[in-house]
Amino acid sequence: MKVRILGCSGGIGGRHLRTTSLLVDHDVLIDAGTGVGDLTLAELTQIDHVFLTHSHLDHICSIPFLVDTAGGMRSRPLMVHALPETLATLTEHIFNWQVWPDFTVIPSPTQPFMSYVPLKVGESVTIGARTFTALPANHTVPAIGYALSSPSGAALAFTGDTSTNDAFWPIINRMRDLRYLIIETAFCNRERALAEVSKHLCPSMLAEELARLEREPEIFITHLKPGEIELTMQEIEDDAGEFNPRMLQNGQVFEI
């Protein structure tokens, strides 16, 4: 499977900063941040599944436009996979007829443009030859990460938004062929208190987390805050350089 980064920033601005979204082959999204808006209409209509990490706006904001734009050109609903709490938030706060119409009943409840699929931590969904497994995360709202694995067992793990997380590492360490780990670092070290209260990571916390890793995947950093990118990457080099973490780039492609 091919994974293309559509967005990996903590914010927007200019040509390169887009919020979180990963396109798997041509038909699956992991999160639907602002990067989805760069896809062509033809690409948008091919998306059959969206796996969400959590309900925060930077990860879901393109779903309303995606479903409204592509829904009428498709014969199947867009399947939105997420924790039940995340789906409840979408129902209550986005697709509530006030912010946006409820596309789970449009144009009809039996053939809607969008359907919800509840997902539990630890649960796997297989689509074709690709398996998507919900990983535990530790954020201010119910949240998960994802492991993407191919039939050979080659895997890419994505933390989503998370702070330090005891439950994550034993699962990661059991993955025999973990090729890539995409992990967030939303703040620089002087904002450690903010990272703790908003349940993200800063470089010193990242270093403590990576010390628990027993595999040797290539490590990529996501969700850097615009305006602090260079500083945060320098601090990551200082605090966790032994793990050779690199900044995730918009447009980057992984193959597993």
| Residue ranges binding Zn ion (CB under 5 A) | 56, 58, 161
CB of 165 to Zn ion, least distance (A): 14
CB of 109 to Zn ion, least distance (A): 31
CB of 7 to Zn ion, least distance (A): 10
Nearer to Zn ion, 112 or 145 (CB): 145
Nearer to Zn ion, 56 or 130 (CB): 56
Nearer to Zn ion, 161 or 235 (CB): 161
How distant is the alpha carbon of residue 63 from its chain centre?
Answer: 13
CB of 55 to Zn ion, least distance (A): 8
Nearer to Zn ion, 55 or 204 (CB): 55
CB of 31 to Zn ion, least distance (A): 8
CB of 160 to Zn ion, least distance (A): 8
Nearer to Zn ion, 70 or 188 (CB): 188
- Write the secondary structure of the chain as one string of H (helix), E (strand) and C (coil): CEEEEEECECCCECCCECECEEEECCCEEECCCHHHHHCCHHHHHCCCEEECCCCCHHHHCCHHHHHHHHHHHCCCCEEEEECHHHHHHHHHHHCCCCCCCCCCCCCCCCCCCEEEEECCCCCEEEECCEEEEEEECCCCCCCEEEEEECCCCEEEEECCCCCCCCCHHHHHHCCCEEEEEEEECCCCHHHHHHHHHCCCCCHHHHHHHHCCCCCCCEEEEECECCCCHHHHHHHHHHHHHHHCCEECCCCCEEEC
Gap between the Cα atoms of 74 and 87, Å rounded: 22
Gap between the Cα atoms of 121 and 19, Å rounded: 23
Nearer to Zn ion, 153 or 227 (CB): 227
